[in-house]
Amino acid sequence: MLQSFFTKNRYTVGSLASIALSLSGTPFLTAEASANTKLPFAGSARVSQSAHGDGYGLRAIDLALPAGTPVLAPADAKVVGTCNAGNNHRAIKLQSGSTFFSLIHVNTPDVFIGKTYRQGQLIGTVAADRPNNACARSTGVHLHFGVSPNAPVVDGINLLNVRFNTTIRSSNVRR
């Protein structure tokens, strides 16, 4: 009976779920925006700054990761912006479909606009230096990770709501 109601009224389980999520006050994310996106590191990290803006116009969190920690692609993505803050300390903007990511304070000499990464592929490592210029500013070693406002859920965590000092776990694995 329910199936005939859905068919007759052209509803799908996905559309009903999005209506329910919208009504509950939880923002609904499209499959493209949230499916299989992972945090850009393996293991766990403490949030050292909760949601804030960045130079790429994204909402971001800072992660207390030590210098030299591998930085991994959060999704299959293409580099659409990059800036060298000195000593190969980079600010990187990635695009995956209609979703954008920023990775700032990454040490990598091998990044350029148009380069593509597969999810889990090594992009670089968390930079050890602390730049203070138009490309990047830092008062301590960390990884800045930004997301499009339409896709704040990464590894099941809404990055816009995660609190300072929370430890979060990534399901990303290095490929």
Paired residues of 104 in beta bridges: 91, 144
Q: Is 10 exposed, middle or buried (0-12, 13-18, 19+ CB in 10 A)?
A: exposed
Paired residues of 169 in beta bridges: 44
Q: What is the model's pLDDT at position 132?
A: 79
3-state SS class at 23: helix
Answer for the pair 129, 122: CB distance below 8 angstroms, yes or no.
no
DSSP label of 134: S
Whether residue 24 has pLDDT greater than 70: no
Answer for the pair 144, 27: CB distance below 8 angstroms, yes or no.
no
Answer for the pair 135, 16: CB distance below 8 angstroms, yes or no.
no
Supply the mean pLDDT for the chain. 82
Higher pLDDT, 118 or 12: 118
Most trustworthy range by pLDDT among 29-33, 76-80, 136-140: 76-80
Whether residue 162 has pLDDT greater than 90: yes
Average pLDDT rounded to a whole number, residues 33-60: 90
Q: In this prediction, what percent of the chain has a pLDDT beyond 70?
A: 80
Whether residue 5 has pLDDT greater than 60: no
Q: What is the model's pLDDT at position 139?
A: 83
Q: How confident is the model at residue 22 (pLDDT cuts 50, 70, 90)?
A: very low
3-state SS class at 18: helix
Q: What is the model's pLDDT at position 107?
A: 95
Its pTM stands at 0.79
Q: What is the model's pLDDT at position 93?
A: 97
Q: What is the model's pLDDT at position 95?
A: 97
Answer for the pair 91, 10: CB distance below 8 angstroms, yes or no.
no
Average pLDDT rounded to a whole number, residues 108-120: 96
Answer for the pair 14, 35: CB distance below 8 angstroms, yes or no.
no
Length of the chain (residues): 175
Q: How confident is the model at residue 35 (pLDDT cuts 50, 70, 90)?
A: low
Average pLDDT rounded to a whole number, residues 31-52: 85
